[in-house]
Structure 1
Amino acid sequence: MQVEPPAWSPAPAQAQAQAQAAALLEEAADLLVLHRDFAAAVEKCEAGCDSLAAGAGHGPESSAEVKCSLCVVGIQALAEMNRWREVLSWVLQYYHVPEHLPPKVLELCILLYSKVGEPQVMLEVGSSWLRDQTNKSLSEYGSLMELYLLQVLLPLGRFEGAEELVCGCDVLDSEQQLAFLGTIGESRCQWSQREEMRSAAEEQHDVATESVLGALSQKLLTMLRLLRKALRSMSSHFYSLPYKKMLLATFMLYLVVVRLDPASPTSLPFIYKLVQLFRQAWAAVLSPIHKPPIRK
């Protein structure tokens, strides 16, 4: 007569998958801690999770623990490579829905996204997990609810949602609910104070910016006035020069530079005379203008 294995013992294929996943977990842990090869550690974790998924059914409790440990090692390795944005999607590809996440994995995800300043990533995931009736029977439910409250809801200013969560939780007794509500009230007051300080700082910054812009505008206007005055002075001085003297100087310069060939021997005496005349004309042009005396 053939003896059937006990109901709790895993099937041969499932036992083999569990053993393979456990070996991969050990290798991944060594790669993470000892060798600091984070990419290889993630690959080992993925291979271990795939091995468990290939087994029949959900497997015994030990398989669930191995799978949870593989995900924990994988999360740490991804975080070490600064690939924390991939963590949640990476975990959900093995657990499919947030309600099925193990408490340890959910805790690690909340702490990770809170540390990097992105707690909103865990807003819907944590809410779905906490609303699940099966999860409410877990011993870790109370601590996870507190962690979600302190690390996700309150930093995001979700005070009404936090109060609804606490008041609607049957797991907490009245004393625990009052303690959580007190924490929510203190956080609300601190949030209001920070908002007031931020508004006051923004107003001071706006006033300082307006004063700086006003000073710059005034300086620019003054520079434009000075520039206009200088241009007017130059133009009046230019127009005050005798027109005939300017025309003579221009014509003589044209003869010397354009019309005459300086290399020709016959042009030297004439060039000398033109130079003399040009100097006299130039001196006359640049001489100060004497205004006629004003008769009284």
Structure 2
Amino acid sequence: MKNDLPGASGIGGGVWRGSDPAWLSPGASRAASLLEEAADLLVVHLDFAAALDRCEKGCRSLPGEADGEDAGSSEELRCSLCIVGIQALAEMNRWREVLPWVLQYYQVPACLPPKVLELCILLHNKVKEPRVMLDVGSDWLRASANQHLPTYGLLVQLHLFHVLLPLGHFAEAQEMVEGCKALSKEQRLEACRILKEKRQLWLQQPEEPPDSEAQAEIAWKTQLGLVSKKVLTILAQLGRALGSLAGQFGSIPYKMALLAAFVLFLIVVKLDPASPTSLPFVYRLTRLFHQARSAVFSSHYRPPI
């Protein structure tokens, strides 16, 4: 992913353009040395974990608050260290850690350097996760201190084309284009044209059919429901048969009890009571029970079937 993101070609010497390290404070001088080492590990040795470690050490060595020229050099060093660190995380496919890792050094999104924000937008657009940068980019663009920066117009376009439009936020994109004074007239017209095309394509997109896993789950639940109904029908038939025979076990001889158990076995195991083809057999079996009852018991005492 290194060659797909900005800053990779300038990591070796183009990113850091501060003063001579000999004239820096001890913390800034150590950070500059760690930056050079991190860039060498990233580009030459491809040791991304070690490069990230050097960047973290370099950011921790920088003073929290500095004055004068040293403050500008420290901020530029911190920005360069973050660029190398972002590149190292991207190479290790740890892009989800990029934004939290950067914000630990800048606290709020509005304080991010333009280069760092640009790199984060492009990275999350490449991995198809622009939503991560939606609030971060909006907060940065709304900050009044950032609206006077030379790269503000570029960041507006990046947020527009790589965050808002992929997410379908066309109303917010239209409002941003119309209210941005950093864009020239030609840039606004071009942005409006692209916005109109993207909106038409968005509306013409067909609804995505459910994936195969969802279809398989629906089919499984349907089949499970049918099986459950069949089992409940069998259990209901079995319960009625047991209830009918429970009052007769005291007066029916042992052989007749065995015969009844055998017939019950045929009904439950060999015959599906829920099937329409089994109804004539059940009807004939009921008639046989009535005939057996008439033959065995007297007319004064005939237990119910």
TM interval, shorter chain, is: 0.5 to 0.7
3-state secondary structure, aligned to 1:41: helix
Cα distance per residue 1:120-141 (max 9 Å; x no partner):
0000110111112221211111
Call closer, same or farther: CA 1:48–1:55 in 2, change over 3 Å.
farther
3-state secondary structure, aligned to 1:110: helix
- Structure 1 match to 2:97: 86
Q: Deviations over 1:62-101 (max 9, x none)?
A: 3222111100000011111111111001111111111111
2:174 maps to which of 159, 163, 168 = 163
Matches of 1:124 and 1:115 in 2, distance apart?
18
For 2:59, which of 49, 73, 81 is the aligned residue? 49
Find out whether 1:142 has 2:120 as its counterpart.
no
Quote the residue 1:34 is aligned against. 44
Q: Are residues 1:65 and 2:76 paired?
A: yes
Asked if 1:117 is matched to 2:128, the reply is yes
1:199-225 Cα distance to aligned partner (Å, 9 max, x none): x889xx98xx99xx9xxxxxxxxxxxx
* Counterpart pick for 1:179 among 183, 187, 190: 190
Query: Is 2:34 aligned against 1:21?
Result: no
Instruction: State the Cα deviation string for residues 150-204 of structure 1 (Å, max 9, x = none).
Output: 110000000011011111112223332222111111100011111x353x889xx
| Partner Cα distance (2:55, 2:25) in 1 | 18
Q: Deviations over 1:218-255 (max 9, x none)?
A: xxxxxxxxxxxxxxxxxxxxxxxxxxxxxxxxxxxxxx
Give, in whole Å, the separation in 2 of the partners of 1:45 and 1:57. 23
Aligned partner letter, 1:110: I
Runs of 5+ in structure 2 lacking a partner? 1-18, 223-305
1:133 alignment counterpart: 144
Distance in 1 between residues matched to 2:86 and 2:181, nearest whole Å: 32
Residue identity opposite 2:178 in structure 1: C
Is the contact between residue 114 and residue 152 of structure 1 (CA under 8 Å) also seen in structure 2?
Answer: yes
TM-score (normalised: structure 2): 0.60
More helix, by proportion: 1
Query: 2:235 is matched with which residue?
Result: none
Q: Choose 1 or 2 for highest CA Rg.
A: 1
Q: Deviations over 1:251-291 (max 9, x none)?
A: xxxxxxxxxxxxxxxxxxxxxxxxxxxxxxxxxxxxxxxxx
**What letter matches 1:135 in structure 2?**
N
Larger RCO, structure (CA 8 Å, separation 6 or more):
2
8 Å CA contact 2:28, 2:63 repeated in 1: no
Q: Which amino acid aligns with 2:100?
A: S
* Aligned equivalent of 1:151: 162
The alpha-carbon deviation at position 54 of structure 1 amounts to: 4.7
Identity %: 56
- RMSD of equivalent CA atoms: 4.3
Structure-2 separation of matches of 1:121 and 1:53: 30
1:17/1:54 contact within 8 Å kept: no
Of 63, 66, 75 in structure 1, the residue corresponding to residue 86 of structure 2 is 75
Which residues in structure 2 correspond to 1:258-269 (within 5 Å)? Answer: none
